[in-house]
């Protein structure tokens, strides 16, 4: 146990994790908010819907590329200072398109805010893992990452409602207000945490080691599978299951709640055995997709399959993060930014594969595509379960959470 862990009481630690959860919730809501008000943005800026869709792509690229870059540039700074700075800049950047609604500038701002979220994710995870005992590292990650899942289930629908009532600018102003709440929580509740010794170059040697890249590959496969099917789940529910109208929202809400529960609960399994948890979760995801395809005409069984899918798919996220940070050893802080990058590459590829499938095979084809990729994920999870963290030398800092 580190000095930092010993100095914090259980209640103080839980409050710090709650503050990090709040930050993840706010940033996660802002990430997906554009989807719900895309038509309003397109109309106001005088661009097409596909052009407005690039705002989503720019944000994802910001996380995937900018997140690791910012993490490397700030690797020697105090972690609390990084978290505070990221939120301040994030709030300011989200005000820019409200005050200066110009398409090119909006695109640039979305890339910048994506990079800032990637930085917050990386530093938030390693901060959470460093203030708890090693046996609670997975639960800390689960608590923090569940903020993103809850944002998808609650934050995005509420933000969309605000956007439809007050305009898309109103949604962005609401994000800024909530970002200030997250800022206060971070300032008050998150303890100062020094970054480990060693610069970006030293950390990169461990963060990009083959054993780490292998688990990042699993992360990529998992999210490719997920978004190959999830992107086109509404056509599946409409054409195969016969769900329409308000019931569509109910099904999607049930899935969203399952992802939040899975993210939070998955931390316990990560603490017990993250490698084994990944094997079970990838297998569970494949089974859920298979059941979803086979019982597609039964509304009740489809609801059960959707819930199981959400539980397994997001229940493995804490294990993915814990495995990457653990396998990176002394390069844990830089490595913590990489799962989000791998996931966003998968999020970009998945809809492409699903789109090809639905154009050739109908509404059920993306589910089969996701299933095929998920089966590949089982093999990758099994292979990576044998990987071991590096043996730290006496002159190197210990891995996070130890």
Q: Residue 89: left if φ>0, alpha if ψ -120 to 50, beta else—which one?
A: alpha
Say what the pLDDT of residue 402 is.
43
- Residues 166, 225, single domain; the answer is no
* Integer Cα distance of 46 and 55 in angstroms: 14
Cα dihedral across residues 118, 120, 126, 128: positive or negative: negative
Say what the pLDDT of residue 400 is.
52
- Residues 103, 226, single domain; the answer is no
Cα dihedral across residues 20, 147, 370, 356: positive or negative: negative
Say what the pLDDT of residue 197 is.
59
Domain end among 140, 160, 195: 195
- Residues 111, 245, single domain; the answer is no
* Integer Cα distance of 285 and 372 in angstroms: 11
Which CATH number is 23's domain given?
A: 1.20.1250.20
- Residues 223, 293, single domain; the answer is yes
- How many domains does the structure of the chain reveal? 2
Distance, CA of 351 to chain centre: 17
Q: What is the pLDDT along the chain (402 residues), one digit of tens a residue?
A: 444 544 467 788 889 999 999 999 999 888 878 877 777 888 899 988 778 878 877 888 898 889 889 988 888 888 899 999 999 999 999 999 999 989 999 999 999 999 999 999 989 988 998 888 888 888 888 999 888 888 877 776 777 777 778 888 988 998 999 999 999 999 999 998 776 656 677 788 888 999 999 999 999 999 999 988 987 888 899 899 998 877 887 888 888 889 989 988 898 999 999 999 999 999 999 999 999 999 999 999 999 999 999 999 999 999 999 999 899 988 887 888 888 889 888 888 888 898 889 889 988 999 999 999 999 999 999 999 999 988 755 445 545 544
* Entry pTM: 0.81
Residue labelled with tokens 């610069």 = 199
- Residues 86, 30, single domain; the answer is yes
Domain end among 195, 216, 233: 195
- Residues 48, 180, single domain; the answer is yes
- Residues 129, 236, single domain; the answer is no
User: Which among 22, 75, 23 is positioned nearest to 336, based on CA atoms?
Assistant: 75
Evaluate whether 185 touches 19 at the Cβ level (below 8 Å): yes
- Residues 144, 270, single domain; the answer is no
Evaluate whether 98 touches 371 at the Cβ level (below 8 Å): no
- Residues 206, 323, single domain; the answer is yes
- Residues 209, 190, single domain; the answer is no
Domain end among 130, 163, 195: 195
Length of the chain: 402
Enclosing domain of residue 22: 1-195
User: Which among 338, 299, 313 is positioned nearest to 118, based on CA atoms?
Assistant: 338
- Specify burial of residue 283 (Cβ count, 10 A radius: 0-12, 13-18, 19+): middle
Cα dihedral across residues 153, 154, 156, 160: positive or negative: positive
């Amino acid at each position: 146990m580190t000095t930092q862990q010993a100095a914090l009481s259980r209640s103080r630690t839980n409050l710090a994790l709650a503050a990090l959860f709040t930050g993840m919730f706010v940033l996660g809501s802002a990430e997906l908010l554009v989807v719900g008000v895309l038509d309003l943005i397109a109309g106001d800026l005088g661009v097409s819907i596909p052009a407005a869709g690039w705002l989503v792509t720019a944000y994802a690229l910001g996380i995937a590329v900018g997140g690791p870059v910012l993490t490397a540039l700030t690797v020697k700074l105090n972690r609390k200072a990084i978290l505070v700075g990221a939120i301040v800049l994030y709030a300011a950047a989200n005000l820019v398109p409200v005050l200066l609604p110009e398409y090119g500038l909006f695109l640039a701002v979305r890339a910048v805010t994506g990079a800032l979220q990637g930085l917050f994710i990386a530093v938030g995870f390693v901060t959470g893992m460093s203030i708890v005992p090693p046996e609670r590292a997975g639960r800390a990650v689960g608590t923090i990452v569940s903020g993103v899942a809850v944002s998808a289930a609650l934050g995005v629908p509420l933000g969309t409602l605000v956007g439809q009532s007050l305009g898309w600018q109103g949604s962005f102003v609401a994000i800024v207000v909530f970002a200030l709440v997250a800022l206060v929580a971070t300032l008050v509740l998150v303890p100062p945490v020094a970054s480990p010794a060693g610069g970006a170059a030293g950390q990169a040697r461990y963060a990009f080691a083959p054993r780490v890249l292998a688990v990042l590959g699993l992360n990529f496969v998992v999210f490719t599978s997920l978004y190959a099917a999830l992107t086109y789940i509404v056509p599946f529910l409409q054409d195969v299951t016969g769900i329409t109208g308000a019931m569509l929202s109910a099904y999607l809400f049930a899935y969203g709640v399952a992802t939040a529960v899975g993210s939070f609960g998955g931390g316990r399994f990560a603490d017990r055995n993250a490698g084994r948890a990944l094997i079970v979760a990838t297998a569970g995801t494949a089974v859920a997709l298979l059941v979803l395809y086979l019982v597609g005409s039964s509304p009740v069984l489809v609801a059960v399959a959707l819930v199981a899918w959400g539980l397994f798919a997001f229940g493995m996220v804490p294990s993915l993060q814990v495995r990457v940070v653990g396998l990176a050893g002394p390069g844990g802080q830089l490595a913590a930014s990489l799962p989000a990058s791998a996931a966003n590459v998968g999020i970009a590829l998945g809809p492409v594969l699903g789109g090809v499938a639905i154009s050739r095979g109908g509404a059920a084809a993306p589910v089969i595509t996701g299933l095929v990729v998920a089966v590949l994920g089982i093999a990758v999870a099994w292979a990576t379960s044998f990987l071991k963290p590096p043996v730290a030398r006496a002159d190197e800092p210990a891995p996070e959470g130890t």
